[in-house]
Structure 1
Amino acid sequence: MNDEEVAKRLDLCLMEVVESFKLFDSKDERIKKLNIVRSLEHIGEQWVRELANDQRLTHRLNDKAGLCRLLVQGSTALGISSRSGDIDAVLLVPNFVDRDDFFTSFPSWLRKSRDISELAAVPDTFVPLIRIKVSGIQVDLVISRLATSYIPQQLDFEQTPGDLYRNMDAISVRSLSGLHLAHELNKMMFGHAHFLPLLRVIRTWVRARAIGSYVYGFPASIAWTIMVVYICRRLGDNSQISTFCVCRRSSVCRNSEPAAERNSGEESLASRSHALFCLVYTFFAQFASWPWPHPVQIASIKFASDLNIFSWDPQRNAQDGRDLMPILTPVFPNKNAAFTVRQATRKIVTDELIRARDIVSDVLRGSGTWEKLFERYDLRDDHRHFLLLTLQTTSKEELVVVGGLIDSRLRDLAQALEDEQYIRSARIAPIQESPEANQSNASCKQLRRQWLIGMDIESAPRLPDGTRSRRNVDITGCLSTFYQILRERDAFTDFGEKLTHVYLNRSQAMQLIL
């Protein structure tokens, strides 16, 4: 086989492994999600029309402008939504709609739909949202209140930030910037043949290695996407042949003389286009040696001081300067999509990137397999000490709201544990409920959610006889601080009663389903 045939074979084998995980939506599933968005938009139109009637503002409505628009963001907007993934959507409303209406009257309209089985309003978060389940699919709805009395048919994201976001509140800006971000990434990668395949590879790897949850201290999904865009722009369009490029290596394409010793008239694969496996290797090699905290950046940082909304700027904001792994979004307000990363989780990510780089190197030498790259990580293999947290509630709404709060603050507990003298790292994993547990909980009218935290505790020094003494680590202070953080954010929930904790050893932890 020639170079091109071998490259195609490597790429085909890689994508066959990725597709075997069945992580991403089929065409039918994408259509189902699109229909859900359309049905929710129709409910939104009815709701906005009622508000306009109540305020006697029907004269502002016309056929050329919509009452509202529901647009998807995130993975769905990029065309790479996962089968177990949520729909992240932004409801654009005119300026006569108040944010409070979104959390008071709009849920009443949503509950009229037979397809909506669960609904929880979460107004007190960084980006307030309504979380619903429609036909079995979770939808996170946020609202963006435009400065106009109508919704334009097309949003002009080519405007300056000052024009695009003028007279909008900060929460609406954050919601609308999510749409802007998806638009910008799609524009950057338009026509790039390897963008979505590379993104599928990286998403599958991130999921398998359990390093994709930003609430637990890892880069957010959008951060990994930005890293993929960085590699595609640097290498994929052939404008720059990176030192990490492996397309020309004889060990990759054929076992023969090095590329430099071939006939000078022979056209190399790399001179025509980069193979997908080359981008995969470059991704891992580039970021395994990335000089953190130097930021990953795919566009210039934009500022609009007149809006009193600020982009990532270490000179202005000391907290930005303390970020350990800055991966910057390309639209205003530019933010670090990996702001939750801690010292311990950055080391985990770096170690995983090094592992992946070495595995891909073995594959390209013919001594490794793609399957090994995607081996599922289990924190019980790396830890001997565990903390099990259990939340019990009596309603699904409470489980969603209180469980979401706990989920979002567990990294505070992990950081507190890591600040202890002998705990090197604390890694969080959600626990899947078994069918037996669900049936048992239903019989006693209790709903349950659990988390497992693996603690890497430094061993005690050896004694003269060669044995080790028992290392005693007191984490009661860490737990007390964590419970206090929860109470400060929700004074109405008795966390002391509803959230319990217990120590587990490895054999006990192995009984759980992760």
Structure 2
Amino acid sequence: MKPFGVFEDEEELNHRLVVLGKLNNLVKEWISELGESKNLPPSVVADVGGKIFTFGSYRLGVHTKGADIDALCVAPRHVERSDFFQSLIEKLKHQEEIKNLRAVEDAYVPVVKFEFDGIEIDLVFARLSMQTISDNLDLRDDSSLRSLDIRCIRSLNGCRVTDEILHLVPNQENFRLTLRAIKLWAKRRGIYSNMLGFLGGVSWAMLVARTCQLYPNALASTLVNKFFLVFSKW
């Protein structure tokens, strides 16, 4: 699959990690500043937290060269959705490394799109009913959905589905390699697109995950064969 640009090299992978680290620090800084502006006690502001989670193909470990990163900004209860689309955007505008910044507030899942040091990022937002957001927050815990509005639940859904898929497959490395092969096959045949009525990224991932469950000890080469065998007779 290497001739088709499926894999990134080590330098490109590390660059993505650096960009995500910078974005995570920016978000934490913004949440703290917002807490101060809303007169939260200094002791609360010091531990208020906030975190960037990834989902989609990057989180699954199957993204291709030059692919964007789907990311989720999780904030505590003092941060409103309007803050995300106003004060955070203002903060991002002042970062030299960020370009092509635009907000799509009326989307099914409202999103802020931008390019951070050459990496395209789609950032969605969820506000949890917690005073602080710790770095070890587990979004698979259903209690995190308590008292949330529908837009926040939709934003969280991407991360929760991605993490659940990774949790349910018997061997993540075999799953990833198999999914890369199936995605490449689907794209080259023009059937990788939910907008055109075919299957999208998550749907293909779920089908491959099911194949991995049916053949837990199989290698990726066998799993690709079994994928077509299973779903040709589904």
TM-score by length of 1: 0.44
When the two structures are aligned, how many residues end up with a matched partner?
234
1:202 is aligned, of 161, 169, 182, to 182
Does residue 51 (structure 1) correspond to residue 31 (structure 2)? The answer is: no
Report the secondary structure of 1:205's partner residue. Answer: helix
Question: 1:37 deviation in Å?
Answer: 1.1
Does residue 234 (structure 1) correspond to residue 214 (structure 2)? The answer is: yes
8 Å Cα contact 2:6-2:65 kept in structure 1: yes
Aligned to 2:12: 29
2:121 is aligned, of 139, 143, 153, to 139
2:202 is aligned, of 222, 225, 231, to 222
Question: 1:158 deviation in Å?
Answer: 5.5
State the Cα deviation string for residues 101-145 of structure 1 (Å, max 9, x = none).
111111110011111121010000110000001122210000010
Aligned to 2:55: 73
Report the secondary structure of 2:195's partner residue. Answer: helix
Aligned to 1:182: 162
Question: 1:62 deviation in Å?
Answer: 5.7
8 Å Cα contact 1:94-1:147 kept in structure 2: yes
Aligned to 1:42: 25
Partner amino acid, structure 1, of 2:128: L
Separation in 2, partners of 1:20, 1:38? 30
Change (3 A) 1:66 1:153: farther
Report the secondary structure of 1:215's partner residue. Answer: coil
Separation in 1, partners of 2:39, 2:89? 22
Separation in 2, partners of 1:62, 1:229? 41
Separation in 1, partners of 2:60, 2:4? 20
Quote the RMSD (CA, aligned, Å): 1.8
- Counting only pairs closer than 5 Å after superposition, residues 371-382 of structure 1 correspond to structure 2 as none
8 Å Cα contact 1:61-1:67 kept in structure 2: no
Change (3 A) 1:45 1:192: closer
8 Å Cα contact 2:140-2:160 kept in structure 1: no
Aligned to 1:277: 221
1:114 is aligned, of 96, 100, 109, to 96
Separation in 2, partners of 1:232, 1:70? 29
Report the secondary structure of 1:212's partner residue. Answer: coil
8 Å Cα contact 2:36-2:45 kept in structure 1: no
8 Å Cα contact 1:48-1:97 kept in structure 2: yes
Aligned to 1:156: 138
Separation in 1, partners of 2:147, 2:55? 22
Change (3 A) 1:39 1:156: closer
Report the secondary structure of 1:120's partner residue. Answer: strand
Separation in 2, partners of 1:192, 1:43? 31
Report the secondary structure of 2:120's partner residue. Answer: strand
Separation in 2, partners of 1:76, 1:135? 17
Question: 1:26 deviation in Å?
Answer: 2.0
* Higher RCO (Cα < 8 Å, 6 or more apart): 2
Separation in 1, partners of 2:39, 2:94? 24
Aligned to 2:67: 85
Partner amino acid, structure 2, of 1:195: F
8 Å Cα contact 2:178-2:220 kept in structure 1: yes
Change (3 A) 1:120 1:100: same
Change (3 A) 1:60 1:289: farther
Separation in 2, partners of 1:158, 1:131? 25
Does residue 125 (structure 1) correspond to residue 69 (structure 2)? The answer is: no
Unaligned regions of 5+ residues in structure 2, if any?
none
Partner amino acid, structure 1, of 2:26: I
Separation in 1, partners of 2:178, 2:22? 32
Report the secondary structure of 2:58's partner residue. Answer: helix
8 Å Cα contact 2:56-2:162 kept in structure 1: yes
Looking at CA atoms only, which structure, 1 or 2, has the larger radius of gyration?
1
Partner amino acid, structure 1, of 2:121: V
Separation in 1, partners of 2:84, 2:136? 23
Separation in 1, partners of 2:69, 2:120? 6
Separation in 2, partners of 1:60, 1:147? 18
8 Å Cα contact 1:48-1:67 kept in structure 2: yes
Q: Percent identity?
A: 29
Separation in 2, partners of 1:284, 1:139? 33
8 Å Cα contact 2:49-2:134 kept in structure 1: no
8 Å Cα contact 1:60-1:149 kept in structure 2: no
Report the secondary structure of 1:186's partner residue. Answer: helix
Change (3 A) 1:42 1:58: farther
